[in-house]
Amino acid sequence: MLQRLFSAAVNGLDVRTVETEVNITKGMGYMLVGLPDKAVRESYYRVCTAISNSGFKHTTAHIVVNLAPADIYKEGSGYDLPIALGILAAEGLVNKEALEGMMFTGELGLDGSLRPVRGALPIAIHARSEGFRGLIVPQANVREAAAVNKLKVYGAGTLAEVADFLNGRRDIAPTEIDTRSEFYAGQTTFATDFSEVRGQENVRRALEVAAAGGHNILLIGSPGCGKSMMAQRLPTILPPLTLSESLETTQIYSVAGLLDGSTSLVRTRPFRSPHHTISDVALIGGGVSFMPGEISLAHNGVLFLDELPEFSRTALETLRQPLEDRRVTITRTRYNITLPCSFMLVASMNPCPCGYHNDPSHECHCTPWQIQRYLNRISAPLLDRIDVQCEVSPLPFSHLASAAPGEPSAAIRERVIAARARQTERFSSERGIHCNAQMTERLIHRYATPDERGLEMLRVAMERLSLSARAYSRILKVARTIADLAGAENIAADHIAEAIGYRQLDRSNWAES
């Protein structure tokens, strides 16, 4: 007896329909074909035990399971449920007509329980696009899958529940979520706020400029001066996610298996802070069984690299292309996957090996050569992609004790949103350009040309401060953002002056200052 039903193979954010064919004949044995990985090959033991423990009388027979198309590599445990239902339907224990137009995914426990799988949201999006009338997933995945409208998504806890539902003995209502109301309800909820930061007005301003223009930023300062504290609060002043951005980010988290059963969408911008011992693969993505890397998990949010020089040189160099292209292509023997990775890079570092260069309260014992060698751990091409470089000075105790609470994140966020709105209007005709940090040289010449006084100030600064040639375009981009924050149509000299102040490491004598 032959039975067909449908599941899906997830390859990054790409999903392909998989036809699960189960054929049962007289005899004994089990054969699974269709380019399965080890987890799929081991499904036989889970499936047969789950069927028996779910109260079904599973007869001894020769079972052949084919996962088509056969040239697509199948991995993961999501094929357990369709294989089990195919066996039951072939044995006449499940209504065959009820399987038509449905898609199934889920891992089975030995007791017949359904366990969550990765990629339920991309599978639901694919099922709707392919015209399936419904999708059955484990209960733990139902909220993320139900974020897709115009598709009936059913959540079940056990194999027996699914079989009873298909046989008409149990009623399972499709899960419905008001995606928009749930999404907008949690957009302004944060555990941290910039009002908790005392003093450091220059750094707060630099972070506001970076957020307004989407600029990458590097904070340089001695230990304990507040670099990490302020970086962690950057998402609270970024513009809220749009619904399309949230769906894209949520798909990545779904593939990574990082969504819990209580939420359907990622509602706030991600903040990822990997340790400096992270491997190249964990940062970029990949592995024997593909997993998104930290740069993709930070998509539409912030990637924070604390103690930047302590990261391996190869790991840092892998960031160069994704920072420019805002997507990463990972090619391995078994797969070729492209994922989006449009993130703001926020990095922090000490100014020298001991950490106290230019610290008024501590003596630094590092030589200029040692300081320069430490700074050289960050390559010039990577530094070239960081628009804002801000020196953070430690706050004296007297200021720390007497300083009033800082400006709240909500007030800063309003200014950032207004500046981003100006950029959205400016680049409305430019494909793939959404903020000042993404401007090409053509757009810089068109939208970021200063007046004569500003141009003269930039020339003098580059000569007197020994600024590198790469600083020129970065200064103009940042100046354009500063002008947007001020609501100015043209870039003035004071905008150029402030932008020049954000190029600390471009000064050739910085290590000796």
- Kindly state the average pLDDT of the residues 20-45: 89
User: Residue 510: which pLDDT band, with cuts at 50, 70 and 90?
Assistant: low
pLDDT tens for each residue of 142-201: 999 999 989 999 999 999 999 999 999 999 999 988 877 777 776 777 888 888 887 788
Q: Mapping DSSP to helix (H, G, I), strand (E, B) and coil, where does residue 309 land?
A: helix
pLDDT tens for each residue of 417-443: 999 999 999 998 888 888 999 998 899
Of 465, 442, 443, nearest to 513 (Cα)?
A: 465
- Alpha-carbon distance of 355 to 326, in angstroms, equals 32
- Kindly state the average pLDDT of the residues 365-375: 89
- Alpha-carbon distance of 229 to 371, in angstroms, equals 25
- Kindly state the average pLDDT of the residues 33-45: 89
More confidently predicted of 506 and 306 = 306
Q: Residue 432 corresponds to which tokens in the numbers above?
A: 């793939």
- Alpha-carbon distance of 170 to 162, in angstroms, equals 8
DSSP code for 50: H
More confidently predicted of 510 and 324 = 324
Q: Is the separation of the CB atoms in 327 and 299 below 8 Å?
A: no
What is the pLDDT, as a whole number, of residue 233?
Answer: 93
- Alpha-carbon distance of 241 to 246, in angstroms, equals 6
What is the pLDDT, as a whole number, of residue 402?
Answer: 59
Percent of the chain with pLDDT over 70: 96
Secondary structure element (H or E) that encloses residue 347, with its range: strand 344-349
DSSP code for 236: G
What is the pLDDT, as a whole number, of residue 512?
Answer: 60
What is the pLDDT, as a whole number, of residue 213?
Answer: 95
Q: Is the separation of the CB atoms in 135 and 17 below 8 Å?
A: no
Q: Residue 453 corresponds to which tokens in the numbers above?
A: 């006084």
More confidently predicted of 324 and 304 = 304
Q: Please return the burial class of 257, using the count of CB atoms within 10 Å of its CB with bins 0-12, 13-18 and 19+.
A: middle
| Residue 400 predicted with pLDDT over 70 | no
Long-range contacts formed by 372-376: CB under 8 A, 24+ apart: 372/511, 374/309, 374/350, 375/309, 375/505, 375/510, 375/511
Secondary structure element (H or E) that encloses residue 494, with its range: helix 493-500
DSSP bridge pairs for 29: 62
What is the pLDDT, as a whole number, of residue 206?
Answer: 94
Of 504, 240, 129, 488, nearest to 349 (Cα)?
A: 504
What is the pLDDT, as a whole number, of residue 441?
Answer: 87
- Kindly state the average pLDDT of the residues 293-300: 95
Contacts of 251 (CB under 8 A, 6+ apart): 13, 121, 122, 125
What is the pLDDT, as a whole number, of residue 426?
Answer: 93
- Alpha-carbon distance of 344 to 402, in angstroms, equals 33
Among the residue ranges 142-146, 237-241, 331-335, the one predicted with the least confidence is 331-335
Q: Which residue has the tokens 């359907």?
A: 264
| Residue 452 predicted with pLDDT over 80 | yes
What does 6-49 look like in DSSP terms, one character per residue? EEEEEETTEEEEEEEEEEEESS-EEEEESSB-HHHHTHHHHHHH
What is the pLDDT, as a whole number, of residue 466?
Answer: 76
Contacts of 381 (CB under 8 A, 6+ apart): 317, 320
Query: Dihedrals φ, ψ of 281, to 5°?
Result: -65, -40
pLDDT tens for each residue of 90-146: 989 999 999 999 999 999 999 999 999 999 999 999 999 999 999 999 999 999 999
- Kindly state the average pLDDT of the residues 294-310: 95
- Kindly state the average pLDDT of the residues 288-304: 93
What is the pLDDT, as a whole number, of residue 146?
Answer: 92
- Angle, helix 120-129 to helix 243-256, in steps of 10 degrees: 120
What is the pLDDT, as a whole number, of residue 263?
Answer: 75
More confidently predicted of 199 and 366 = 366
C-alpha distance across the termini of the chain, in Å: 82
What is the pLDDT, as a whole number, of residue 403?
Answer: 62
The number of C-alpha atoms within 13 Å of 42 and in the hemisphere containing its C-beta is 10
What is the pLDDT, as a whole number, of residue 473?
Answer: 86
Percent of the chain with pLDDT over 90: 57
Give me the chain's average pLDDT, please.
89
User: Taking the model in full, what pTM does it have?
Assistant: 0.90
- Alpha-carbon distance of 8 to 338, in angstroms, equals 19
- Alpha-carbon distance of 294 to 272, in angstroms, equals 7
What is the pLDDT, as a whole number, of residue 511?
Answer: 58
| Residue 250 predicted with pLDDT over 90 | yes
Q: Residue 422 corresponds to which tokens in the numbers above?
A: 């100006």
Distance of CA 280 to the CA centre of its chain: 16
Q: Residue 320 corresponds to which tokens in the numbers above?
A: 């160069």
More confidently predicted of 455 and 395 = 455
Q: Is the separation of the CB atoms in 288 and 10 below 8 Å?
A: no
Of 488, 478, 474, nearest to 418 (Cα)?
A: 488
Rg (the chain; Cα; Å): 28
What is the pLDDT, as a whole number, of residue 509?
Answer: 56
- Alpha-carbon distance of 351 to 307, in angstroms, equals 10
The number of C-alpha atoms within 13 Å of 489 and in the hemisphere containing its C-beta is 0
- Alpha-carbon distance of 448 to 468, in angstroms, equals 19
What is the pLDDT, as a whole number, of residue 236?
Answer: 93
